[in-house]
Chains A and B, each alone.
Chain A
Amino acid sequence: MRLTRPFLLAIVAFAILAALPLVLSGNLLNASIKMMIAALFALSFTLAMGQAGMLSFGHAAYYGLGAFAALQMMRAVEQQVLWFPTPLIPLAGAFVGFAFGLLFGWFATQRSGVYFSMVTLALAELLFTIAPNLSSIFGDESGISTIRGPSWGFTFGPDNQVYYLVLAWVAICSLLMWGFTQTPLGRLALALRDNEHRVRFLGFNTHVARTLIFAISCLFTGVAGSLLAIANEAANYTIFSAQASANVVLQTFIGGAGTFFGPALGAAVMTFFARVTSDLTRSWLLYQGLIFVLIMLFAPTGLGGLVAQHAQKVRAGGWRLLVGPYALAAIAGVLLIAGLVFTVESIHVVLTDAYAAARRSAGGAWVPYKLFGTSFLPNSLTTWALPIGLLLAGGLLLPVARRLTMAAWREVTAVPKTDDGAVSVPARSSEGASA
């Protein structure tokens, strides 16, 4: 294996991850565990999506099945029905994920394109509706819980040990998935994405190939689910919900499905974002949705695509031209975000029952509400002058920043200074950069 730059970067990334428990503790360490699991989930999802073009809206099904397989295994170990080392529990999730991936994938890959998406969604919904009724396997509405058994000299009590267990599995699975993309089947996946008809005319059984690729994706999803089960020691049927399937889609495309590690980046960033913002505001899902739609509109290649585009330009020395416009765009962005967040949070506070009660006790008059440590009066003009001013300023600044950014990008791409000659970025990327 050649030590290429991405490969070196991956090694550095995993080395940093391995060192994290030395500096992080408690809550943050737990967050890192969840981020790594989400990253693995997104990577496995991308195996079907990015490689073979199969956009699954029901990947939570295999995630949940992996989790329940692991929980049942752990419970069997706990009740001493059988002996199985805790670090190898994800194998159970992998097996169940693969088996159901084959079964469900066989149905879903009957169709391609948007049909496939809808069928996968319906299959996940099938599990979601049946699971609470099968209490022997999935528990009742409260789910099942168990504990991690000690094995191989580890107790798996402290978060540290769980962290390294998860890290090891994520590293191994990432390597395996990357390896898979280099195998003949992995290359075939790309061909299937680009032109299925042609692959069929070349003599391949495309249905079998697509089913296999889907099942392999589900295998790694099952591993991610098991890791979640090991980390949480519990799960219930809501793990199959459409919300869970939706999350991985959002995270993957925010990260950018076109690059191998983009989805992992997106999943880690968005999991962290969710963890931080869900404590601060109940509208965090709205912000996540807005981020997703903005990325879809203005940066279709996602964060990973943006990073890849810029890495090339930074090496070529083009960053000097871009710093100015980007700073302006950042200011405009901050103004707009501040205005939006203020509006949303104000609406949220004013419409709560608590505020309505406060108003009633004040005889129906408007009472001030607290936000960001300051009091505001909902019916005063000065309160609303703030967000309107912010939004106006941002809205006026943004087109200017956008024009400057596009001009700068044109200049950067016009003079190709890369080592390998004139590789110019297509015009679309200038729009992407202005987001």
Chain B
Amino acid sequence: MEYLVVSALNGIVHGLLLFMVSAGLTLIFGMMGVLNFAHAWFYMLGAYVGFTLTRHGGFWAGLLLAPIVAGGLGVLVERYMLRRVHKYGHAHELLLTFGLAFIIEEVIKLFYGDALVSYQMPDYLRFAAFTIFDTNYPFYRLFMGAVALVMFVILYLLLAYTRVGIIVRAATYKPTTVEALGHNLPLVFMGVFAGGTAMAGLAGGVAGAFYPTGPNMAVDFGTLVFVVVVVGGLGSVLGALIASLMIGLFISFAVGIQVSLADVLALVGLGDWARSVGGLLTLKLQTIANSMPFLLMLLILLVRPAGLMGDRQ
């Protein structure tokens, strides 16, 4: 029971964090058709901005500046790079952001080195929120979840109830019509791109203080984010939310389960055979917890290629 509750909580928080990053990615894609490969690298940038600010200015200043820096870079990227190559098609835009990811990572490595940096939350946030079954549950996890939830609510209200939100949603479906109605479409694009990258930056600033902050964080997180949008359906924010939570829960439960395929086969009397074969059959679920999202993705591709909430292609 303790395992169930703690794993579920951890999974939900991790899922919400994934959602913070994938929501921006899926919004940008839905509107502009651009798959921003560098999206997770904006998350990394946010974490490093936060780290720098904890040394000069404080943790909260870092949280404030992380989305501003990431969003600002997003504006420059959209205005001076993506817009330039738009005429060559979406694959070209994808490749450009792919190269950009490289540059962001290498510039960060240039300044901060190849090792992990110790980005820490302030001490007054380091306490147990509550105790369940003798386990102290860290407050910071709840804080991360809360930031993601607040962001989701703001995003939803913004998209659903404001004029800007209406224009953004309309531009997702019929960009040319929106432009014909006199709206500045390039500005809307730039705004959405900046918003998405700012969200990734904020997520990095918040999560970097809890999870390790280092040069590999973008690649590791980035592939997960891609899995989320494939599972959820590209362009669907709700799909991204469901997929994020699913994947967060999948990983957090798999980490604690010591079952292998051989144990399952033992139920039908094939346990000894499976153990003699070894290899994949004796791998414990625990050791391949990090592979679970990819297996989930394959499953989804088999039964529902468009993703949970996606339209067909």
Contacts and interface: CB of A to CB of B under 8 A. Distances in A.
Given A122-B226, A296-B96, A133 B103 contact: no
A242 interface: yes
Interface stretch (A88-96, A109-117, A182-190, A264-272): A109-117
A53 B94 CA distance: 13
B234 A115 contact: yes
Interface size class of A (residues with CB under 8 A): 35 or more
A136 B94 contact: no
Interface string A274-310: 0000000001011011101100110010000000000
A348 B107 CA distance: 10
Contacts of B90: 113-114
A107 B305 CA distance: 9
Contact of A118 (B99, B230, B283): B230
A129 B290 contact: yes
Contacts of A134: 279-280, 283
B295 A126 contact: yes
A97 to B, nearest CB: 19
Contacts of B84: 297
Given A129-B288, A129-B291, A136-B278, A296 B85 contact: yes
B102 A288 contact: yes
A246 interface: yes
Interface in A209-265: 242, 246, 249-250, 253
B103 A118 contact: no
Contacts of B295: 126
Given A125-B223, A348-B110, A114 B301 contact: no
A119 interface: yes
A123 interface: yes
Contacts of A297: 81, 84-85, 96
Interface in B93-122: 94-96, 98-100, 102-103, 106-107, 109-111, 113
A115 B230 contact: yes
A111 B94 contact: no
B6 interface: no
A291 B88 CA distance: 18
Contacts of A107: 298, 301-302
A119 B223 contact: no
Q: Classify the interface of chain B: helix, strand, loop or mixed.
A: helix
Interface of A: 53, 55, 57, 107, 110-115, 117-119, 121-123, 125-126, 129-130, 133-134, 136-137, 242, 246, 249-250, 253, 283, 285-286, 288-290, 292-293, 296-297, 300, 344, 347-348, 351, 428
Contacts of A110: 301, 305
A55 B111 contact: no
The 4 residue pairs across chains A and B that have the minimum distance between CB atoms: A289-B102, A286-B106, A126-B294, A114-B35
23 contacts: A53-B91, A55-B95, A111-B313, A114-B90, A119-B301, A121-B223, A122-B227, A123-B294, A129-B294, A130-B280, A133-B283, A246-B98, A250-B99, A286-B103, A286-B107, A286-B110, A289-B103, A293-B81, A296-B85, A296-B92, A348-B110, A351-B110, A428-B87
Contacts of A114: 29, 35, 90-91, 94, 234
A249 to B, nearest CB: 7
Nearest to B306: A111
Contacts of B291: 126, 129-130
Q: Classify the interface of chain A: helix, strand, loop or mixed.
A: helix
Contacts of A119: 230, 297, 301
B117 to A, nearest CB: 13
A253 B95 contact: yes
B229 interface: yes
Contacts of B110: 283, 286, 344, 347-348, 351
B279 A136 contact: yes
Contacts of A117: 35, 94
A242 B219 contact: yes
A376 B294 CA distance: 50
A300 B85 CA distance: 8
A118 B301 CA distance: 12
B130 to A, nearest CB: 33
B177 interface: no
A130 B290 CA distance: 9
Contact of A125 (B113, B230, B279, B294): B294
A123 B305 CA distance: 15
Interface string B273-290: 000001110010001101
A110 B301 CA distance: 7
